[in-house]
Amino acid sequence: MHIIKLNAIDSTNSYLRKLASKKKLDDFTVVITEHQTKGRGQIGTVWNSEKGKNLTCSVFKRNTGVSLDDQFYISMVTSLALIKTLQLFQVPKLAVKWPNDILSEQKKICGILIENVIKNHDIEASIIGIGLNVNQTQFKNLPQASSLRNLTGTVFSIDELLTRIVEQMVYYFEKLEKGKHSLIKRAYEALLFRKNKPSTFKDAKGNLFSGFIKGVNAEGNLQILQEDDILNEYDLKEVTLLY
């Protein structure tokens, strides 16, 4: 694992993507920073993080043989690696809020942003951004956010967390490369927040509806059982799960 440490940068994903375009990088090259000034989340959201308190990093992964149709497996593998790592550190009641927010005690502690480099309809590489709330204790105007310290009372080593996360990413990506798609999907679905529980959703037009999360399809669309036992599938832009 090759680690590039920066004091401050606008976005570790952007930095790593530029670096990958200029030179050949080893698998699991990591860019980590103490302060990210323009961290990005899903669909253009902003990821705010207190300087020096959290893990903000991006990981480079060359994805030989991963097709565009299978790209959500990269998200599933990353989510599984994070959950497994946090279990090792005794973080309680972990779940994945679809598509890839990591929750503990129903509070968001981690976000993932995956940007793929595509060539000839295959994913040549992935830039996997991870923002994990570690030792930060205050989250102004973010009632659903928390951190490892708030949840466990422990001050964590960010370097140790990073090492363990990358170890688990190596393990789960090996499963993916060996074609263990069904195993990965089952493990991910077992961790889905509010799976098989009555839940409220908001569609793209702002309408609310009720249903039960049953799982995801191979493309990563959320499968929701609705009225009259109809199973509908939604992509990220079409539906939001409300807490």
User: Domain holding 219: CATH number?
Assistant: 2.30.30
Q: Are residues 74 and 173 in the same domain?
A: yes
Q: Which domain holds residue 231?
A: 198-241
Are 211 and 238 contacting, i.e. CB atoms less than 8 angstroms apart?
Answer: no
Q: Which residues, in sequence order, are bridge partners of residue 35? A: 8
> Residue 43: which pLDDT band, with cuts at 50, 70 and 90?
very low
User: What's the whole-number mean pLDDT along residues 111-137?
Assistant: 94
pLDDT tens by residue, 164-202 = 999 999 999 999 999 999 999 999 999 999 999 999 999
Q: Are residues 163 and 214 in the same domain?
A: no
pLDDT tens by residue, 205-238 = 999 999 999 999 989 999 999 988 999 999 999 9
Task: Quote the number of domains for the chain.
Answer: 2
- Is the pLDDT score of 62 beyond 70? yes
* Average per-residue pLDDT for the chain: 93
Q: Are residues 106 and 178 in the same domain?
A: yes
CA dihedral 167→188→103→153, nearest 10 degrees, is -40
Confidence (pTM): 0.93
| The pLDDT value given to residue 207 | 96
In the chain, what percentage of residues exceed pLDDT 70? 95
Q: Are residues 71 and 29 in the same domain?
A: yes
Q: Are residues 177 and 210 in the same domain?
A: no
Q: Are residues 172 and 204 in the same domain?
A: no
